[in-house]
C-alpha cells in the first residue's frame, strides 16, 4: 500500500500541525473503537500501546522542523 500525501505545502505551519494532530486523534478513535468492539475494555493497555506506536510513527514521518 502506498501513501499519497494530500498536504498542501502552501499551508502554514499551524495548519500542518493541526492536520497532524487531527490524524493522531483519528488514529486514537479508530484503534480504541476496533479494540473495544472486538475484545471489550479488557485490552485497554494493548490499545494504548498501539496508539502510542502509531502516533510516534506519525511524528517521525511528519516532523515539525
Assigned domain for 23 exists: no
pLDDT of residue 28: 96
Judge if pTM exceeds 0.85: no
Quick one: cell of 55? 502516533
End-to-end CA distance of the chain: 27
> Is pLDDT at 1 greater than 60 in this prediction?
no
Domain that holds residue 64: 28-65
Assigned domain for 17 exists: no
pLDDT of residue 5: 60
For residue 2, give the DSSP letter: -
Assigned domain for 4 exists: no
Assigned domain for 40 exists: yes
pLDDT of residue 44: 82
Quick one: cell of 11? 499551508
Assigned domain for 14 exists: no
Candidates 16, 12, 15, 14; CA nearest to 58 is 16
Assigned domain for 5 exists: no
Quick one: cell of 38? 472486538
> Is pLDDT at 57 greater than 90 in this prediction?
yes
Domains identified in the chain, total number:
1
Assigned domain for 43 exists: yes
Taking only the tens place, the pLDDT of each residue in 5-50 is 665 566 688 899 999 999 999 999 999 999 999 988 888 889 999 9
- Can you say how many angstroms the Cα of residue 30 is from the centroid of all Cα atoms in its chain? 9
Amino acid at each position: 500500500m502506498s501513501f499519497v500525501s494530500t498536504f498542501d505545502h502552501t499551508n502554514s505551519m499551524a495548519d500542518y500541525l493541526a492536520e497532524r494532530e487531527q490524524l493522531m486523534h483519528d488514529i486514537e478513535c479508530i484503534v480504541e473503537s476496533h479494540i473495544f468492539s472486538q475484545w471489550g475494555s479488557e485490552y485497554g493497555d494493548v490499545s494504548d500501546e498501539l496508539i502510542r506506536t502509531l502516533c510516534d510513527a506519525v511524528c517521525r514521518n511528519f516532523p515539525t522542523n
